[in-house]
Amino acid sequence: MKKVFFTLLCLSIGAVATVKAQDNKPVPPPPPPVPAAQPAVAPAPDPDAGEFKFKEETHDYGEVPEGPLAETDFEFKNVGKKPIIISEAHGSCGCTVPNWPKDPILPGKKGVIHVSYNTQGRQGPIMKDVTINSNAKQSPMVLHIRGNVKPKPVDQTIVPAQVPAPNQTPPPAPVKK
């Protein structure tokens, strides 16, 4: 036991001596600071770029039945000085599908973005967005659809199986010959 204690004492003194010896060494200067990366500067918007002017940016379907597609057209005019080229449009989910003009919309001309919403299996409120990416001043441009999907009516043509009353005897089974 004394040997273990003595060994631990020697190791502790050696460790303290090593730390003290390291404290006397001169400390090297810290490395020079690395210059911070300059943030990317967004290009200034083109003052002559095309510009969307929509008749409406939010369409309310109101109450729609479950099952068929709910569809609407967002009409717009290019009120800018250059053509608008729509590179991409997407709905906020797979149930909302936009269809946009693939050709440039020249200044003063009109275009239509057709939006279909699949109501099948989606009872309740509709609150979806369509994002349009283009070279216009307002890019991305976000359009909105709203409404409420009414559930399908329950089919009343199903006839329940006839069950005999508790005190009634069931009808005789057909006889096979």
Q: Quick check: 89 and 63 in contact, CB under 8 A?
A: no
pLDDT at 17 over 80: no
Question: CA 19, 21, 22 angle in degrees (round to 5)?
Answer: 65
Q: Which two tokens stand for residue 128?
A: 């979806």
**Residue 107 forms part of a structural domain:** yes
pTM (two decimals): 0.61
**Residue 95 forms part of a structural domain:** yes
Domain that holds residue 132: 52-150
**Residue 112 forms part of a structural domain:** yes
Strands 141-150 and 124-134, bridge-based pairing: antiparallel
Q: Quickly count: other Cβ atoms within 10 Å of residue 145's Cβ.
A: 23
Number of domains into which the chain is organized: 1
What does each C-alpha distance from 152 to 99, 113, 124, 157 come to in angstroms?
27, 29, 11, 14
Q: Quickly count: other Cβ atoms within 10 Å of residue 76's Cβ.
A: 25
Residue pLDDT, tens place only, 120-158: 988 999 999 999 999 998 889 999 999 999 988 776 555
**Residue 44 forms part of a structural domain:** no
